[in-house]
Structure 1
Amino acid sequence: MDIKKSLVLIFSAYGCFLSAQEKVIDTVYIFDNQMNKVKLFHSVNMIRPGDFEKNATNLSELLRFQSQLYIKENGRGAVSSPSFRGTSAGHTAFVWNGININSAFLGQGDVNNIPLFGYDELEVKAGGGSVQYGSSAIGGSIHLNNNLEFNKGFHTSLFSEAASFGTYNNFLRTSFSSEKFSIKVSGNYVISQNDYEVPEKEYINRNGRFHNSSINIGASYKIAPHQTISWQNQLFDGSQHYPIFTESGNKTKYKAQTLRSLLSWDVTRNNFSNSLKAAYTEDNFQYFGDIDKPKESGAEGKNYIFRNDFNYFITPKLNVNAIGEFQVNQGLGYQSGIGDISRNVGSAAGLVRYFPTSDLRFEAGIKKDFVENISSPVLYSFSGRWQLAKWYLVGASFSRNFKFPTFNDLYWGQGGNPDLVPETSINLDMDHELTFGDLKLTVSPYYMDIKNYINWLPTAAGYWAAFNTYSVEIYGLDSQITYRKNLGNHHFTLNGGYTYSRSTNKLTGMQMMYVPLHKATGNIDYRYRFLSIYVQGLFNGLTYTTTDEKRADAIDPYFVLNAGISAKFLNHYTLGFKVNNFTDAVYQTVSYYPLPKRNYSVYININF
C-alpha cells in the first residue's frame, strides 16, 4: 500500500472495495493477510494484548478464561492441549502469522510450550478451515499474529509481574518505524516454583517447577510504493518438571525449543495483491525420566515451507484467490523407533468471492493436498453472509476438512501404522448476529461428522498401536455477547460466552472423553479515569474422563472467579493487583491434577 497520495484499495468489512482516492495514511503490515478475508464470512473472537495481562501465567490460562475452548492441563504449567467444539487436541490448528505450526510428530500444539506474549493479535476462529489453513483445522484454529506499523516513531513497553508460588513474569517490547522501515523486538521470561497445594484433594504440586523464555523480532521495509519485504522470527526455550504424587516419586522433566522464521514479499496494487512467503520452523523436545540424568527420548523436527497467495478483483463484485503451498517435513527421533524421515506436502487451493450488494456476500473454495505416501481427499468450502436488517446478520458455511496422520502415528517404533488414512470431517456452521445499540449477540449452532478417527489402542501383542477406528458426531451451540457503554468518564464493557457440545462416539453413543457439555465465560470491565476494575468468571459443566461415561470418574462442575484492579498514573505507568480463583474453588481440568486455589499477583506496566 502507498504512503502518500496513493491509490488506496480497501477490502472493507462489507466485502466490496471503494473507489481509488488520494489519502495520506499510516499503513500496517499484517503477516496473515488471509485472515482478513476469513473475517468477511466467519465470526472471529479477537483477544487483544491489553487482555493478556488478566491471564498472564500462560496461554492455557488465557484461552480457558477468554475463549470457548476447553483446555486440558496436567497441573498448572504442565502438558496442556485444547478441545474445540467437542473435538480432540489434534483437531485444532495453531496458526502463526498464516503458517500452520502444529507439531509434525504429535499433530497438535502443546499450549504451554507456545509463548503467550509477543503477539499483536490473538484470534480464535471456530469451525472448519482446512482450505485456508490445512491439516487439523477441523474444530477450529488459533491465530497468533504479528503486525508492523509505519510512521509511528519509537515506542517501548515493559510488563513485570510477581505472583504466588514463586512466579515471576517479565515482558519487554520496543519498536521503531519511519515512512519506509519498521522494526519490533520483544522478549519474555517466565519462571515459577509452582509449588501450590490443594488440601481438599490431599495434593501438593511437587516437582511442578517451570520456566520459559521467548524472543520475537519483526522487520519490514518498503522497497517500492507497492512492494514490501518483511521478516518475522520467534525463538522459544522452555522447561517443565512433571508433578509427582509422593516425595519419593521419580522426578521427570520435559524440555522444548522452537524456532520460527518467516520471510514475505508482498505486492499490492489497486485491484490485485500477491504475497510470497518462505518459512523455516524447527521443533525440538527432550524427555528426561530422571531430572538429574541424560534424556531418555526426544525428537527433532524441521519444516521448510513455501506459500504464495494471489488475490485479484476481476470486477468490483467478483474476486478470485489462488493459494499454492509446498512443504518439506523432516523428523529425527531419539529412542522412539522413529528414524531419519522426510515427507513432501503440497497443496493447491482456489477461492471465488462474490459481492452482489454491500449486504450480501458469498465464497466458494476448493483444495487438493498432495501428501507423500498418503491419499488425501479433495476439500471444499461454501460460505455466505447476508445483512438482512441493520440489527440482524445471518451467515452459514459448509465445508470438508481433514487431518493427516502424524509422524508418531505412522512411524513410532512399536505401534506406528503406515496404512493409516487421513481423518475427514463434514462441518456445517451458522452465525446469527443481532445488534441492538451497544449490545451485540452472536448465536452459532454447528454440526460435525468426523470419519476415520485415529486412536491408539492396546493390541494382543501387549503394546499400543494407531488405527483408524470409529466416527464421531458432534453438534452444539456457541454464543457470544458483547456490551459496551461510555457515560462521560465511566466506561463499561461486558463479554460473555456459552458453549454446548454434544460429542459422541457413533459406535457406543457415549460422550467423548474430556468434552464438557457446558462451558460459560464472562468478563466485566469498568474504567473510571485512571482506575480500572475487572471481574472474570468461568463455569465448566460435568466432564467425563472415561469412554463409558462413568460418573464416579467424571470431573464435577466448577465455577472459578478472578478479579483485578489497576491504576494509571503519570500517563506512562500502570500498577495492578489481581486475585485469581477469588472464591477458593477446588477444580481440575484433568483427573488427579488440581489447579491452584486462591492466589495473587501484582504487576507494573510501563509505556513510553
Structure 2
Amino acid sequence: MDIKRSLVLLFSSYGCFLFAQEKTIDTVYIFDNQMNKVKLFHKVNTITPKDIEKNTTNLSELLRFQSQVYIKENGRGAVSSPSFRGTSAGHTAFVWNGININSNFLGQGDVNNIPLFGYDQLEVKAGGGSVQYGSSAIGGSIHLNNNLDFNKDFGAALYSEVASFDTYNNFAKASFSNDKFSFKVSGNYFISQNDYEVREKEYINRNGRYYNTSVNVGASYKIAPHQTISWQNQIFDGSQYYPIFVENGNKTKYKAQTLRSLLAWDIHKSKLSNSLKAAYTEDNFQYFGDIDKPKESGAEGKNYIFKNDFNYFITPKINVNVIGEFQVNKGEGYQSGIGDISRNMGSVAGLVRYFATQDLRFEAGVKKDFVEDISSPLLYSFSGKWNAMKWYNIGMSVSRNLRIPSFNDLYWEKGGNPDLLPETSTNLDMDHEFSFGDFKITLSPYYMDVKNYINWLPTPYGYWAAFNTYKAEIYGLESQVTFNKNFGKHGFRLNAGYTYSKSINKDTGMQMVYVPIHKAFGNIDYQYNFLRVYVQGLFNGLTYTTTDEKRADAIDPYFVLNTGISATLLKKYTLGFKVNNITNTVYQTVSYYPMPKRNYSVYATINF
C-alpha cells in the first residue's frame, strides 16, 4: 500500500492511520510496526527476496550492489562492516523485526555474520533514527523484516546454487496459514572454499573458507478479532577462516553464533493500537589463533528486551505514539579482561503526528535514554512531508541521535575506558522527490555534526585505548532514479543511485578513512514472458585508508559489472545463470584483500 492511499484512508474515519493496517490484518502481520509510520515521513528503499537472488554470496555483497551503503570487507566472506553516509561502522543500526541487534561488544553489526536469507523484506533507511530505533542509528539503519500471511494455505520453495570457488548455497522455506493461524519456517546452508586467485596482485585467498547455517521460524495466532499473538525466532551458526598471505602462514578462524527470539502481543483497533514485545537475543563468538588449537579469545552476550509501542488517535488529524523499552545487557569475555558484566538500559520516547491535510503532515518526537553508569542526552526529531504537486514531494527531518559506548570500548583490558561519553550527532536530512510518468527521481542532501567520536589510539604505555577524540562534519548528497514499466509480456525496471560523501575530521580537515567520496550503483531488470535478464553495476571512487589522505595508500576507483539470466517454466520451476565481475576488474574494498575476479553460478528454484 503506497503512502498516498494510506493518507486517503486516514481521512475516511477516526484513526485511519491504523485503519489501513486494521483492514489488512486479515492478510499479513508485520513485526516491525514502526516501519509503516516511518515511511510516511522518510524515504525507505526496499529489497525484495527476488532482488536478493541477484547477490546471494552474503549480506555484504547485497548491500554493496543494491544500496547506497559502502561495505568494507577483508576479502569475500571475511570481516565486514558498513559506512553509511560517510559515517563509521558503529553509526549504522541493524534492526531485526523492530529490535536493534548491534553487538554489545563491537557496537556495530557484524555484516557477514548476519543471515542473508529468510526475510520477507530487507529495507534501508538513510538518516538519523535513534528516537525510534536506538543507539547507532546515526548514518542510517538496515531493517531485516519478517511478515506472516493469513488465509494463504500451504506454500513452499527450494533454492539451490552452485558457484565458483567450490561454493554451495541451499535455502528452503515452507508456510501454512488459515484465517486464525499462520506459520512459516526456513533454513539456509552456505559453504565455500573461497580459494580465489588475483594474479595481478600476486594474491591467493588461502585459508579463506567460510560456511554458515541459519534457521528462521515464525508463528502468529489471532486470539480475538483485533488481537494477535506472534513469535519469531532466528538461529545462526557461522565460521570464517581468515586469509593468510603466504603458504606456510599461521591459519586463524572465527566462529559466531546468534539466537534471536521475539514474542509479540498486538492489539489493532480503529483509534488505538498497542504492540507489546519481549525478546531474547544472544551473541557469542570465539577467535582461534591456530585453527587446530583451542580458542584464544571470545565472548558471550545475552540481552533481555521488553518494549511497548502505544499508538492513539486523539482526533482524526492528531496521533500520539509512546514507546517504552527496557533492556538487561549481559556479557562475559574470555581472555579479553572483560569479566561478567551487566548493564541496565531503559528509554521513553513520545511522538506526535499531525496530518494537516491529505498532502501535508508533520511529526515531532523526543526520547530520553537511561543507561546504567552513562549519562545520555535528550534526543529529539522533527519531520515534515509535503506533497506539493502531483510531480513533486518534499520531506525534511532534523534530529539528535546517539551511539552508546560498546562493552569493548568500556571494559576491554587493557584499553577500555569506563569514562567514555556517548557519541552524539545532529542530523539534517531532506528528500526532494520528482515523478515523471514511470520515472521517479529523488535528491537527498544531508548534513551531520558528530561529537565525542570514539577512537582507539596508541598510548605511551604500549597499548591502544579508547578515547572520545575529535568532532566530525559530514555532508553530501544521495540521489536515486527508479523506472518501472510493463507493456504486454515485457517488463522493465531500473533502480540506480549515486552518493557524494564528505566526511571531515574537524581537527585535521581531512577525509575520514574508508569513506569513498563517490559511490554509484545500478540495477536494470528486463523480463519477457518467462525470461528475465538483469545487469548491475557498481562504481566506487577513490577511498583513503590513512588519516593523512596519503594517495599512495588509497584504494583506487573501480567499476564492477554483474549480469544474470533466468527462465521460469510452468510458474514453478526457475533455472538461472549469473556472471559476477564480467570485466575481470581487480579491486578491493580493504587494503591488501582483493576481491574475486570473474566468477559464475548456476541456480534452480522450485515453488510449490
Partner deviation per Cα, 1:384-407 (whole Å, 9 max, x = no partner) = 000110000000000000001110
**2:319 alignment partner, SS class:** strand
**1:494 alignment partner, SS class:** strand
Aligned to 2:564: 564
Partner deviation per Cα, 1:89-114 (whole Å, 9 max, x = no partner) = 00000000000000000100110000
For 2:97, the aligned partner's letter is N
Aligned to 2:101: 101
Task: Say if 1:191 and 1:210, in contact at 8 Å, map to a contact too.
Answer: yes
Partner deviation per Cα, 1:367-390 (whole Å, 9 max, x = no partner) = 000000000000000000001100
For 1:249, the aligned partner's letter is G
TM-score (norm 1): 0.97
5 Å-filtered alignment, 1:27-42, equals 27-42=27-42
Aligned to 1:6: none
Aligned to 2:49: 49
Aligned to 2:13: 19
Q: Are 1:224 and 2:224 matched, yes or no?
A: yes
Task: Say if 1:485 and 1:491, in contact at 8 Å, map to a contact too.
Answer: yes
Task: Say if 1:15 and 1:40, in contact at 8 Å, map to a contact too.
Answer: no
Q: How many matched pairs?
A: 599
Aligned to 2:573: 573
Gaps of at least 5 residues in structure 2 are none
Partner deviation per Cα, 1:424-463 (whole Å, 9 max, x = no partner) = 0000000000001100000000000000000000000000
Task: Say if 2:13 and 2:316, in contact at 8 Å, map to a contact too.
Answer: no
**1:55 alignment partner, SS class:** coil
Aligned to 2:254: 254
Aligned to 1:445: 445
Closer, same or farther: CA 159–166 of 1 in aligned 2, 3 Å: same
Shift of 1:486: 1.4
For 1:275, the aligned partner's letter is S
Equivalents in 1 of 2:23, 2:367: separation in Å?
38
Task: Say if 1:15 and 1:355, in contact at 8 Å, map to a contact too.
Answer: no
Equivalents in 2 of 1:15, 1:230: separation in Å?
26
Closer, same or farther: CA 89–14 of 1 in aligned 2, 3 Å: farther
Shift of 1:25: 7.5
Aligned to 2:235: 235
Shift of 1:485: 1.3
Partner deviation per Cα, 1:530-553 (whole Å, 9 max, x = no partner) = 000000000000000000000000
Aligned to 1:484: 484
Shift of 1:43: 0.3
Shift of 1:484: 1.0
For 2:368, the aligned partner's letter is K
For 1:222, the aligned partner's letter is K
Closer, same or farther: CA 281–11 of 1 in aligned 2, 3 Å: farther
Task: Say if 1:336 and 1:413, in contact at 8 Å, map to a contact too.
Answer: yes
Aligned to 1:333: 333
Aligned to 1:7: none
Shift of 1:571: 1.8
Closer, same or farther: CA 539–24 of 1 in aligned 2, 3 Å: closer
For 2:267, the aligned partner's letter is V
For 1:405, the aligned partner's letter is P
For 2:408, the aligned partner's letter is N
Partner deviation per Cα, 1:397-420 (whole Å, 9 max, x = no partner) = 000000011100000010000000
Aligned to 1:4: none
Equivalents in 1 of 2:462, 2:295: separation in Å?
25
Equivalents in 2 of 1:569, 1:319: separation in Å?
48
Aligned to 1:606: 606
Aligned to 2:120: 120
Task: Say if 2:7 and 2:358, in contact at 8 Å, map to a contact too.
Answer: no
Task: Say if 1:15 and 1:361, in contact at 8 Å, map to a contact too.
Answer: no
Closer, same or farther: CA 586–438 of 1 in aligned 2, 3 Å: same
Shift of 1:488: 1.0
Shift of 1:24: 9.2
Equivalents in 2 of 1:27, 1:558: separation in Å?
45
Q: Are 1:499 and 2:499 matched, yes or no?
A: yes
Equivalents in 1 of 2:8, 2:405: separation in Å?
38
Task: Say if 1:11 and 1:17, in contact at 8 Å, map to a contact too.
Answer: no
**2:40 alignment partner, SS class:** coil
Q: Percent identity between the aligned chains?
A: 80
Closer, same or farther: CA 260–409 of 1 in aligned 2, 3 Å: same
Closer, same or farther: CA 460–59 of 1 in aligned 2, 3 Å: same
**1:310 alignment partner, SS class:** strand
Shift of 1:16: 2.5
**2:538 alignment partner, SS class:** strand
Aligned to 2:196: 196
Aligned to 2:182: 182
Equivalents in 2 of 1:471, 1:23: separation in Å?
48
Equivalents in 2 of 1:15, 1:388: separation in Å?
19
Task: Say if 2:492 and 2:525, in contact at 8 Å, map to a contact too.
Answer: yes
Q: Are 1:343 and 2:343 matched, yes or no?
A: yes
For 1:242, the aligned partner's letter is Y
For 2:374, the aligned partner's letter is I
Equivalents in 2 of 1:555, 1:598: separation in Å?
20
Deviates more, 1:332-341 or 1:23-32: 23-32
Equivalents in 2 of 1:558, 1:485: separation in Å?
31
**2:246 alignment partner, SS class:** coil
Shift of 1:19: 2.8
Aligned to 1:136: 136
Closer, same or farther: CA 24–258 of 1 in aligned 2, 3 Å: closer
Shift of 1:336: 0.2
Equivalents in 2 of 1:462, 1:406: separation in Å?
22
**1:184 alignment partner, SS class:** strand
Equivalents in 1 of 2:25, 2:285: separation in Å?
45
**2:601 alignment partner, SS class:** strand
Equivalents in 1 of 2:239, 2:367: separation in Å?
38
**2:10 alignment partner, SS class:** coil
Task: Say if 1:381 and 1:400, in contact at 8 Å, map to a contact too.
Answer: yes
Shift of 1:570: 2.1
Q: Are 1:111 and 2:111 matched, yes or no?
A: yes
Task: Say if 1:581 and 1:598, in contact at 8 Å, map to a contact too.
Answer: yes
Shift of 1:26: 3.7
Shift of 1:14: 6.2
For 2:13, the aligned partner's letter is S
Task: Say if 1:150 and 1:179, in contact at 8 Å, map to a contact too.
Answer: yes
Equivalents in 1 of 2:370, 2:444: separation in Å?
33
**1:348 alignment partner, SS class:** strand
**2:53 alignment partner, SS class:** helix
